[in-house]
């Protein structure tokens, strides 16, 4: 399977604990995005990487959130001191852009986080 993969698929944690999610994009894609989706809503942008550089962060991304993409390959999203409001589906997507053409984003299956 050459699609976007995410791990874990589900995570249940207690309030105050730290969690880390991983995303493996399609190998030739240099653009990587994290989105958050809550029940009944569309995905909302969290952060963007071009290769290894984190070029944009949403105001939704509080100081408790951090994301990395070392060497421009996989990416991790860490949430420190989780709160119940962090419960959501965290989606990763990747894409590429060549010669000015806009390519669609391919999404992973998501990580569903439940904070008790």
Footprint on this chain of other proteins (rule: CB under 8 A)? 4, 6, 31, 33, 35, 40-45, 48, 50, 55-56, 91, 93, 95, 97, 101-102, 104-110, 112
Q: Give 82 or 111: the residue with its C-beta nearer to other proteins.
A: 111
Our CB check for other proteins shows the closer of 63 and 104 to be 104
Provide the minimum distance between the beta carbon of 82 and other proteins in the complex, in angstroms, as a whole number: 21
Note whether 4 and 21 are within 8 A (CB): no
The residue (of 74 and 107) whose beta carbon lies closer to other proteins is 107
* CA 3 and chain centroid, separation: 15
| Count of CB atoms situated within 10 Å of the CB of 96 | 16
Residue 70 phi, psi (nearest 5): -65, 135
For the CB of residue 49, give the shortest distance to other proteins in the complex, in Å. Answer: 9
CB proximity list for 31: less than 8 A, separation 6 or greater: 48, 49, 50, 94, 95, 96, 97, 105
- Taking the least distance from each CB to other proteins, the nearer of 80 and 106 is 106
Minimal distance in Å, beta carbon 83 to other proteins?
A: 23
Of 1, 9, 40, 37, residue with least CA distance to 109: 9
């Amino acid at each position: 399977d050459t699609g976007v993969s995410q791990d874990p698929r589900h995570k249940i944690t207690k309030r105050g604990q730290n969690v880390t999610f991983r995303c493996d994009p399609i190998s030739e894609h240099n653009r990587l995005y994290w989105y958050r989706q809550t029940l009944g809503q569309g995905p909302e942008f969290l952060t963007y990487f071009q290769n290894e550089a984190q070029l944009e962060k949403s105001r939704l991304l509080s100081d408790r959130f951090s994301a990395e993409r070392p060497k421009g390959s996989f990416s991790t999203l860490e949430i420190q001191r989780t709160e119940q409001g962090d419960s959501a589906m965290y989606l990763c997507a990747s894409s590429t852009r060549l010669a000015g053409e806009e390519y669609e984003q391919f999404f992973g299956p998501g990580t569903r986080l439940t904070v008790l």
